[in-house]
Structure formats: C-alpha cells, structure tokens
Amino acid sequence: MTGITRFTRVRSLVVALVGLLIASAVPLLAAARPAAASDNGQSVRPAMGWSSWSFTRRWPTEAKIKAQADALASSGLKNHGFVYVNLDDFWQKCDDNGFVVDSYGRWSVDTAKFPGGIKALADYIHSKGLKFGFYVTPGIAKNAVTRNTPIEGTSYHAKDIADTSKTEKNYNCKNMYYIDYQKPGAQEFVNSWARQFASWGVDYLKIDGVGSHDIPDVQAWDKALRATGRPINFALSNNLAIADAATWRKHANSWRTQGDVECYCGPGDNGSGYPLTDWSHVSSRFNSAASWQPHAGPGGWNDLDSLEIGNGDRVGLTADQRRSHFTLWAMAASPLLLGTDLTDLDPVDKAMLTNDRLIGVNQDGVAAKRIVSSGVKQVWSKKESDGQYVVALFNTGTSGNTTVSVDWSQVGFTGSGDVTDLWSGSHKGVIDDSYSATLRPGETRLIRVKPVNSLKNTAASPGMAVAPGGFRS
C-alpha cells in the first residue's frame, strides 16, 4: 500500500468520523433552541392593552367596555402602546341547558348587556384608534347538539362532530361537549365561528380553559383564524403545561403560564371588587417566569396574566410591590394587559404605566433570565441588541430591608459598567465589578448597564432591535 493510498484512506476515515459526530450533535443543538414561533405575523412584540376580567368580572356591558376604551385613549395610555381593549368572559347568553346558540350552533350575544351587538362595539373601539379583543372556550354547546344545528356552509350538523361522552371546561354557562376532530365538519364548525368573529372586527382572540387535551382545538382555531384573512392575535389560557410549550409556541402568540393573578378576595360575588390581587399571587410568578423563559420570543410570549396597576393601593399591592409587578412583567416580556379601572387612574400608577423606559424593557423582544435566586433576593438579566444589559434586582419579601448584589460577571461581562436607573431615569455613573441595592420589602431596582472597557463578553442571548416608533430609551 502506497503512502498516498494510506493517506487517502485515513483522510476518508477522519471525514466520516467528523461527519458522524456533526450528525449526532445537530439534534442536540436543535433541541437546545426553542421551537419556532407562530408564523401568523402577530405579536412580534408582547401585546399591550386592557382586559375586562379583573375589574368588570362577570358583569361586562357595552357601556362599561366603551368607558374603558374612552379612558385608554383619553388618558394617553394609548400613546404609550396600550392599544387592545379585550372583552373577556360573560358576553354570552345562557339558559338552563347552557349557552343559547344561533342558527349555526355558535354562542349568542347577551343583548341585555350588549344591545348594539359585538360588531358595533368593535367598530366603536376601532374608531378610537384601538384594537378589539374577544373570548371563547373549546368545544361545542350542548344546545347546539340538542337542536342538531347545521354547520354553516356544509351538509354536516352538530351531532356529527360532538363527543357527548366528555364535557369541556367552561367558566360561564358550562355544558360544552368535546369536538371530535376526526369527524367531517369539525374544522368547518370552528372555521364558521372564526369567520363570524373576523366579520365582527376581532383583532385578538383568547381561548380559555385550554389543557393539553385541547391541542386539537388549538390547532383547529389556529388554522381557522389564519383562513379568515384577518390579522388576529391568538392567546391561550390558562395554566398551560410547560411540557407542551413547543406546541403552544407553534400555534399561538401567547400562553398563560399559571392560574389567575386575581386573589378573588374582594367583598363582592365571586370575590369581586377590591382588592383585585395580593403579593402572593404576583410573587408566585417569579418561579414560573424563570422556568418558561427559554420559550419566549418574537411571535410567542409567556403570559403572566393581567397587570394590576392603575388604581393605587386598592388593588392589594403597595407602590413598591406594584413597581416590582411591572418590572417582572417587563423583564419577562409578558403581555401587558391592564386589569384595573382605567376611568379612575391613580396618578402614581399612571406615572408608572407611562414610563417609556419600562415599556421599552418589555418591548425589546427579549425574555430575561434569572441569575440570582437566594431567599427573598432575586436578580434577572438580559442583553439587548446594542450590547447593553438590563438588570433587575428584587426583594420579594414582605418584611425587612435586604441588600441585593450582583457581579457584572454574572450579568455577562467583566470590568466596569455605566449604570442608569430605569425607574427614575437618573444616571448613576461608572461602577466597577458589581452592583448592590438595599431594598425595602417588595421593592425593585431596575438598571441599564453599558459595559465599559470590558475584558470579555460572555452572554450569548441575542437582543432584538426595537422597531421605529418603539419604546426604547
């Protein structure tokens, strides 16, 4: 065997081994990346607006929703990016057997609450330069099956697609059967509902009561909403399983990572009224936000639930806790959907909500990682597209001051950092090696750090530039 032949064979063996190693490594690398986001073109950045559930609860009306839309526009919140006005549950009419349905088996509007109908309400909201959000749950109503209503545009009927052996979760009229998506007409039923919503002017649709068993419904609604040709932001609720995160991300623009942020501890029916929440319901989001962080990105966001800021201490949180509430939602890149009464804005809270530095942190398209978690001390960090870092320090406790510290090396660089406080806007100057803050119970410190003479830059999380007209400080 010549030297050339031996060399050729050895080279071939090396190439083959290298190819095998690369092939075996590719799935591992792919698994480390989050699944591709929904490509429906919606929610490139987290949605911002208002949702009816926290404040109006089971008693939404046309007048109440219009008043909140008016306040969203007149308060100036719209000019800071809060544009969705979302009507949640209890817009429907019920009888003793569940939802009253129309001639095609779809829920009927409670005209006592909404005398002008949903399209007229959406038109009014659109006239304010705002967007309209709406609500549904999986399944098909018992009344549709009992009446065996036809499925619009087909020869099929409700009994053809209903699985009456199982009932879907529903929080209002109940009596919702599963849909068997193996049956002809099932997708067409959801399509007809989606077309109706699109014709009414829906810009955002929340599908509630979703569990992993409802993946066929999520897939069907995703397909149906796309087929309408109308841009509709698709949101899933609530307490979704993290094991199915890749599926939620593929089909939806946001997904609720826990149960409700409301405490249901008010004096009214169903725990309605003030307080709307408490610190335990907000602080429980720190752990879930950390767990879900890898799954967030443009087109699909981890939804921490409503932002309960707007009505001062009445909501059940101190001013420090409300700032921490906003800071965590901003760092996690959660949708910012206010749950408070916008017709009675507290001036301290209005200043919080119109702080474009905070909004910019939320809208930069990057979900922060938790880098310190020690008792009541937490630190979160993310790197933005210009090489600067945003760092949040929290005292999550309910008593006693505590000093929270972080080394710049934990953040992602070494050397010195030029620091700006994002809540106050004050420039803190160049600080060497590390940063510390003594925080009151429930208080936060949020800073932007520009590395100065950095020896190395170890963070690998890419940032995302904010679009022209975005809220970047």
- Count CA atoms closer than 13 A to 1's CA, side-chain side: 7
The reported pLDDT for the residue numbered 3 is: 42
Instruction: Say yes or no: 213 and 109 in one domain.
Output: yes
Bridge partners, 451 (sequence order): 417
Is position 410 within any domain? yes
Q: Is residue 469 pLDDT above 90, yes or no?
A: no
Instruction: Say yes or no: 71 and 206 in one domain.
Output: yes
Q: Is residue 202 pLDDT above 90, yes or no?
A: yes
Q: Is residue 451 pLDDT above 80, yes or no?
A: yes
The reported pLDDT for the residue numbered 35 is: 63
The reported pLDDT for the residue numbered 124 is: 98
The reported pLDDT for the residue numbered 213 is: 97
Residue 393 neighbours by CB under 8 Å, 6+ apart: 377, 378, 379, 404, 406, 435, 437, 439, 444, 445, 446, 447
> Would you state the torsion angle of the CA atoms of residues 291, 231, 134, 139, taken in this order, to the nearest 10 degrees?
-80
Instruction: Say yes or no: 327 and 437 in one domain.
Output: no
Q: Is residue 64 pLDDT above 90, yes or no?
A: yes
Instruction: Say yes or no: 209 and 279 in one domain.
Output: yes
Taking residues 220-228, report their average pLDDT: 98
Active site residues: 208, 260
Distance CA 76, CA 70 (A): 10
- Which tokens sit at 169? 């979760």
Percent of the chain's residues with pLDDT above 90: 88
Least confident segment among 12-26, 381-395, 404-418: 12-26
Distance CA 282, CA 396 (A): 10
Q: Is residue 82 pLDDT above 80, yes or no?
A: yes
Instruction: Say yes or no: 395 and 282 in one domain.
Output: no
Instruction: Say yes or no: 226 and 121 in one domain.
Output: yes
Taking residues 93-106, report their average pLDDT: 98
Instruction: Say yes or no: 229 and 284 in one domain.
Output: yes
- Which tokens sit at 465? 């530039």
Residue pair 423/358 in contact (Cβ under 8 Å)? The answer is: yes
Domain with 86 in it: what CATH number? 3.20.20.70
Q: In which band, very low, low, confident or very high, does the pLDDT at 1 lie, cut at 50, 70 and 90?
A: very low
Is position 71 within any domain? yes
The reported pLDDT for the residue numbered 54 is: 98
Taking residues 49-56, report their average pLDDT: 98
Instruction: Say yes or no: 331 and 297 in one domain.
Output: yes
For all residues of the chain together, what is the average pLDDT?
91
pLDDT tens per residue, range 308-343: 999 999 999 999 999 999 999 999 999 999 999 999
Residue type, 249: R
Q: In which band, very low, low, confident or very high, does the pLDDT at 120 lie, cut at 50, 70 and 90?
A: very high
Per the model's pLDDT, the better-predicted residue between 280 and 456 turns out to be 280
The reported pLDDT for the residue numbered 36 is: 73
The reported pLDDT for the residue numbered 454 is: 56
Least confident segment among 26-30, 195-199, 217-221, 375-379: 26-30
Domain boundary among 341, 368, 395: 368
pLDDT tens per residue, range 344-369: 999 999 999 999 999 999 999 999 99
The reported pLDDT for the residue numbered 34 is: 57
Instruction: Say yes or no: 423 and 361 in one domain.
Output: no
Instruction: Say yes or no: 390 and 275 in one domain.
Output: no
Count of domains for the chain: 2
Q: Is residue 31 pLDDT above 70, yes or no?
A: no
Percent of the chain's residues with pLDDT above 70: 88
147 lies in which domain range? 48-368
